[in-house]
Amino acid sequence: MLLVVILAAWSLTSEGVEHALLIGRWILVLVVEMVNSAIETVVDRIGGKPMISQKRRKTSVRRPSSIVLAAVVWILVLFPG
């Protein structure tokens, strides 16, 4: 997926700053996913048997907000003003 993002950023924009914004934003999405997985592992290990409400609560905010923010950055860079 990251390779597709890099190729798209390179072909759709011409400036280095725009490349950095578009690629860096998706790298941050991947970092959020890794942190989310680490938090889930720790909570599962400490909490014993995971409850369904715990799993839903853990992923309810971080994942969608990072993806929406990445999409907003792409829209603002590709369609300025």
Q: Which residue has the higher pLDDT, 81 or 52?
A: 81
Would 56 be classed as within a structural domain?
Answer: yes
Tell me, yes or no, whether 8 lies in a domain.
no
Residue 6 lies in a domain: no
Domain that holds residue 26: 17-78
| pTM across the whole model | 0.71
Q: Is 15 a catalytic residue?
A: no
Per-residue pLDDT tens digits for 22-74: 889 889 888 888 888 888 788 777 876 656 666 666 556 667 888 888 899 98
Domain count, the chain: 1
**Cα 30 to Cα 65: distance, rounded to the nearest angstrom:** 13
The pLDDT-based confidence of 4 (bands split at 50, 70, 90) is confident
Q: Which two tokens stand for residue 22?
A: 């578009």
Q: What is the DSSP string of the chain?
A: -HHHHHHHHHHH--SHHHHHHHHHHHHHHHHHHHHHHHHHHHHHHHHSSPPHHHHHHHHSSHHHHHHHHHHHHHHHHHS--
Does a structural domain hold residue 68? yes
